[in-house]
C-alpha cells in the first residue's frame, strides 16, 4: 500500500509526519549503536536491500492502493522492533527518493505499513513466549508464518481505515474490490517470512535477534 498525500487533508498528513518523527527519534535513541555487532549491522543493511527489492515488485490498482510484499515481519524477527522500525523507514524513504512514493505522506505510510506490522509481530512473539511451550515449530509456524501473514493484513486494514475515514474511497469498494487481493497477498507474505526465518535459524541463528538457542534448542538436545 502506498498512501498518497493528495488523498488526505493536510492536517492528517502533517500530524502523521510529526508523530512518525517523534517515534523514530525515540526508536533511534534506544538502539545501542556502539555495541551493535558488525555482523548484525551487515545483516541489517542486506535485509534493507532485499525489502527494497520486494517493494519494487508492485502493482497499482488505484492511487494509494498498490500491491506488494512488506517484509516487515521478517525484519522484526531478524533484528528486533527498533532496528526493524528504522529499516522500514529507510526502505520507504528510498522508495520515495526513487519516485515510487509520496514524500509528504511518508509518515502516514510508515505508521500503517511499518509500526502496525512490527507491533503485531511483537505481540504474537510475546504471547507465544508467555503462553506456549518453547518449541522451535511454534517459533517458525506461529511467529514467522502466521504472524507474517497477519501483519500484512493488519497493515492493509490500517491503510484502508485511513482511506475510508477521510472518504478517499467508499468502504464498500475497498472491502469488495481491494481487500480480497490483500488477503491473497498475505499468503505469500506468510510463506516468504516463514521460509526466510527457517533458513536463518538453521544456518545463521546468530543473525536472528528474537531467536534464543537456550530457549528453543538446548533443552531439546540435553
The phi, psi pair for 102, rounded to 5°, reads -95, 115
Average pLDDT over residues 212-221: 66
Question: What is the set of domains in the chain, with CATH numbers?
Answer: 5-221 (1.10.1760.20)
pLDDT class for 218, splitting at 50, 70, 90? low
The residues, any chain, with a CB within 8 Å of residue 42's CB and separated by 6 or more, are none
- The string of pLDDT tens digits covering residues 66-105 is 888 999 999 999 999 999 999 999 999 988 887 777 789 9
Compute the average pLDDT of residues 143-172.
93
Average pLDDT along the chain:
88
Mean pLDDT, rounded, for 115-139: 92
Binning the chain into helix, strand and coil, the percentages to the nearest 5 are 75, 5, 20
Closest listed residue to residue 70, CA positions, set 49, 53, 54, 86: 54
For the segment 24-53, the average pLDDT, to the nearest whole number, is 85
Amino acid at each position: 500500500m502506498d498512501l498518497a498525500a493528495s488523498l488526505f487533508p493536510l492536517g492528517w498528513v502533517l500530524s502523521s509526519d510529526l508523530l512518525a518523527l517523534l517515534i523514530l527519534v525515540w526508536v533511534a535513541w534506544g538502539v545501542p549503536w556502539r555495541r551493535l555487532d558488525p555482523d548484525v549491522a551487515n545483516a541489517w543493511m542486506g535485509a534493507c536491500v532485499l525489502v527494497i527489492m520486494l517493494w519494487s515488485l508492485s502493482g497499482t490498482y488505484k492511487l494509494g492502493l498498490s500491491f506488494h510484499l512488506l517484509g516487515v515481519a521478517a525484519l522484526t524477527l531478524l533484528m528486533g522492533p527498533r532496528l526493524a522500525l528504522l529499516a522500514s523507514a529507510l526502505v520507504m524513504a528510498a522508495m520515495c527518493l526513487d519516485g515510487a512514493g509520496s514524500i509528504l505522506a511518508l509518515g502516514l505510510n510508515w505508521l500503517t505499513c511499518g509500526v502496525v506490522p512490527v507491533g503485531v509481530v511483537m505481540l504474537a512473539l510475546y504471547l507465544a513466549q508467555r503462553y506456549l511451550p518453547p518449541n522451535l515449530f511454534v517459533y517458525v509456524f506461529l511467529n514467522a508464518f502466521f504472524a507474517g501473514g497477519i501483519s500484512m493484513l493488519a497493515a492493509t486494514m490500517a491503510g484502508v481505515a485511513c482511506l475510508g475515514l477521510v472518504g478517499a474511497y467508499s468502504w464498500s469498494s475497498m472491502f469488495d474490490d481491494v481487500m480480497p487481493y490483500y488477503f491473497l497477498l498475505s499468503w505469500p507474505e506468510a510463506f516468504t517470512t516463514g521460509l526466510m526465518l527457517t533458513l536463518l535459524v538453521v544456518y545463521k541463528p546468530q543473525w536472528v535477534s528474537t531467536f534464543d538457542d537456550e530457549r528453543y534448542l538446548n533443552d531439546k538436545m540435553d
